[in-house]
């Protein structure tokens, strides 16, 4: 637990810095601001910033005698986690529009509607929890097997935690995993050489980069939590902590790659996504 805590803290701190830089890149770059997909990505970035900002000092706040401060930290941590999951789902929904519903897309005030869902749904869930019993937020043992271990400020009720976080994430993961498989099929079809019946080496590299980027945006690595049992517990927990604590850094790399991509000629797979993007932007 101590090793995993250090890995998580270091990874989240590194990601937080990278995410802030990502926001600055988005603000200062007109091309990124005009891109519809990037506007969705930046909302996920902001959700991850909020998540890291409230997760990193959670242990220190839990050690503070103030009950109200711990209540705020637990509530904010819950909200930012739900917002992260929701924006991951919206990433999958946007991907669905780009890859499946390519034709006849007409969504007025698209980003505004996504924002209402992305930030509104978590607010409703958190508000309901507070209305039922604000005592659901408070001090929680980091390691329940050791009662002398450090505490964090989070959801103290196990049922509320399972229903609002695990339940929501399970639905998001199943949907995004489906969209990821659709993306894999589409990327492979784009790079497939019908004449020779194989993928070009250059197309393979592009396909791998594209799929890695999509997996990060969809939060596919969060699914490792389902393998945290039996003989897979130790391996899954280490992979979960390493990959997910660095998710913000991976998204930063995705933004940098997009900047470089914008300066060069757009590859074939990007040109396919441009048409629905423009159509959505017009609305």
**CATH number reported for the structural domain that contains residue 94 in this entry:** 1.20.1070
Q: What percent of the chain has pLDDT above 90?
A: 39
Report in angstroms the alpha-carbon separations of 143 from 2, 11, 57, 150: 10, 20, 17, 8
* Rg, Å, the chain Cα set: 20
Residue 261 pLDDT > 60: yes
Residue 142 included in any domain? no
Residue 8 included in any domain? yes
Residue 68 included in any domain? no
Reported as type and span, the H/E element at residue 141 is strand 137-141
Domain count across the chain: 1
> What pLDDT digit, counting tens, does each position of 37-82 carry?
899 999 999 999 999 999 999 888 888 877 889 999 999 999 999 9
Average pLDDT over residues 1-21: 90
Q: How many CB atoms are located within 10 Å of the residue 123 CB?
A: 12
State the average pLDDT for the chain. 81
Residue 181 included in any domain? yes
Q: Higher model confidence: residue 194 or residue 145?
A: 145
Structure-token pair, residue 29: 């770059």
Contacts of 196 (CB under 8 A, 6+ apart): none
Among 80, 45, 219, CA closest to 154: 80
Among 204, 206, 219, 212, CA closest to 169: 219
Reported as type and span, the H/E element at residue 129 is helix 110-132
Report in angstroms the alpha-carbon separations of 177 from 132, 156, 183: 33, 30, 10
| pLDDT at residue 149, rounded to an integer | 67
| pLDDT at residue 108, rounded to an integer | 77
Q: Higher model confidence: residue 249 or residue 189?
A: 249
Average pLDDT over residues 186-208: 61
Residue 282 pLDDT > 50: no
- Residue 280 binned pLDDT confidence (cut-offs 50, 70, 90): very low
| pLDDT at residue 5, rounded to an integer | 84
| pLDDT at residue 279, rounded to an integer | 47
- Phi, psi for 77 (deg, rounded to 5): -65, -40
What is the three-class DSSP state of 264? Answer: coil
Residue 200 pLDDT > 50: yes
Between CA 249 and CA 111 the distance in angstroms is 24
For 262, the domain range is 2-57+83-116+170-282
Residue 155 included in any domain? no
């Amino acid at each position: 637990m101590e090793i995993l805590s250090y890995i998580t803290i270091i990874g989240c701190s590194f990601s937080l810095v990278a995410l802030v830089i990502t926001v600055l890149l988005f603000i200062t770059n007109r091309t990124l601001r005009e891109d519809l997909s990037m506007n969705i990505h930046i909302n996920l970035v902001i959700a991850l910033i909020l998540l890291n900002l409230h997760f990193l000092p959670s242990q220190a706040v839990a050690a503070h005698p103030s009950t109200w401060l711990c209540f705020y930290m637990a509530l904010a941590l819950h909200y930012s986690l739900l917002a992260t999951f929701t924006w991951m789902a919206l990433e999958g929904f946007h991907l669905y529009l780009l890859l499946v519903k390519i034709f006849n897309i007409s969504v007025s005030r698209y980003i505004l509607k996504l924002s209402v869902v992305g930030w509104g749904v978590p607010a409703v869930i958190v508000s309901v929890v507070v209305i039922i019993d604000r005592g659901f937020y408070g001090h929680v043992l980091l390691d329940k097997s050791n009662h002398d271990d450090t505490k964090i400020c989070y959801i103290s009720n196990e049922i509320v935690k399972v229903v609002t976080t695990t339940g929501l994430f399970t639905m998001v993961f199943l949907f995004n995993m489906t969209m990821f498989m659709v993306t894999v099929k589409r990327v492979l079809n784009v790079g497939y050489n019908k004449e020779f019946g194989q993928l070009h080496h250059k197309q393979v590299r592009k396909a791998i980069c594209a799929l890695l980027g999509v997996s990060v945006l969809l939060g596919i690595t969060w699914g490792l939590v389902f393998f945290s049992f039996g003989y897979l517990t130790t391996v899954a927990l280490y992979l979960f902590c390493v990959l997910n604590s660095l998710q913000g850094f991976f998204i930063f790399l995705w933004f940098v790659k997009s900047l470089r991509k914008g300066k060069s000629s757009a590859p074939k797979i990007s040109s396919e996504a441009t048409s629905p993007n423009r159509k959505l932007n017009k609305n």
